[in-house]
Structure 1
Amino acid sequence: MKKRILFVCLGNICRSPMAEAVMRHQVKLAQLSEQIEVDSAGTGDWHVGHPPHEGTRSQLDEHQISYEGMQARLVLSSDFDAFDYIVCMDTNNLRDVRSLLSEEQGGHQKLFTFMELLPDQGIADVPDPYYDGNFTFVYELVENGCKELLKRVQADMSLS
């Protein structure tokens, strides 16, 4: 059964599309593209329909990772039924995504923050490079966190 991952940040132009592209790349290298699907969304609607931020594109270009066709979109309540993992790039977005859940939907167990994948980093949130411009640091976090998430997904797939 196919596993589906959704990364969520505020505007869906910096952190979550970077994570989407990096995770897709890692999934492709692991030859699991038929078993794992990856997407991203934002909690704010300012950038809907826009491509990833120039700083995100620059990092992805530097590492030869495709972001072709990616456009910002809003996270929807229907995403809770559609995705197995909903990975929020920070605690504020986790709170906002939780507020979209109704009691009937449940699904809180599939929600977690990206930095839960990297507990040794000692930070709770992936910093937003839209404000500080540090796309290189964010890329390093995203690359390492996606490796950990891929291990988790592969382990879950072997259990099902």
Structure 2
Amino acid sequence: MIHVLFVCLGNICRSPMAEAMFRKRVEDEGLSEHFVIDSAGIGGWHQGSPPHEGTRKLLDEKGISYEGMTARQIRDEDITTYDYIIAMDAENVGALRSIAGYGKHHFIGRLLDFVEDDDRDDVPDPYYTGNFEEVHDLIETGIDRFLTYVKKEKHL
């Protein structure tokens, strides 16, 4: 199994959007049996809450399920459990690397690290910008490239 964890600041906007979109993409490609997919936040401010209204609205418009998703904070064991910990921005990566320390862990990086033909490094937080459509488009490109990378690396 390939364990993938998407991470943003509070786990209500970007990372649940990425989780839902990646899950759908994996299902559409008939690869669900190869993946465990989840999301988490650096902070626990929204723990137990559903995705943000803007995220829910956008996912509804795109026909992507977020049923049963609730925010949670990253846990120490996530660092060693997940093969790929995909953050939305550099601050998230820094926090994750602080949590991970020098122990054993797998890939920790930004989603847009997989998008080489785009100058942007970070997925902006729509909690502050309100631009959920831009975030969707960036995440869509990022997960497409990430899945291509994983399929090649894992020979799927």
Aligned to 1:16: 15
Taking structure 2 as the reference length, the TM-score comes to 0.96
1:138 maps onto 2:135 in alignment: yes
**Structure 2: runs of 5+ lacking an equivalent:** none
Aligned to 1:111: 108
1:124 maps onto 2:121 in alignment: yes
Larger deviation: 73-82 or 62-71?
Answer: 73-82
Paired AA for residue 77 in structure 1: D
Larger deviation: 3-12 or 150-159?
Answer: 150-159
Residues 80 and 104, structure 2, Cα contact 8 Å, conserved in 1: no
* TM-aligned CA deviation for residue 123 of structure 1: 1.1
Aligned to 2:28: 29
Aligned to 1:101: 100
- State how far apart, in whole Å, the 1-side matches of 2:104 and 2:120 are: 27
Please report the RMSD computed on the Cα atoms of aligned residues, expressed in angstroms: 1.1
Paired AA for residue 148 in structure 1: R
Aligned to 1:147: 144
**Structure 1: runs of 5+ lacking an equivalent:** none
- State how far apart, in whole Å, the 2-side matches of 1:143 and 1:67 are: 16
Deviant stretches of 4+, over 6 Å: none
Q: How many percent of aligned residue pairs carry the same amino acid?
A: 47
- State how far apart, in whole Å, the 2-side matches of 1:81 and 1:99 are: 14
Taking structure 1 as the reference length, the TM-score comes to 0.94
Aligned to 1:61: 60
Larger deviation: 126-135 or 75-84?
Answer: 75-84
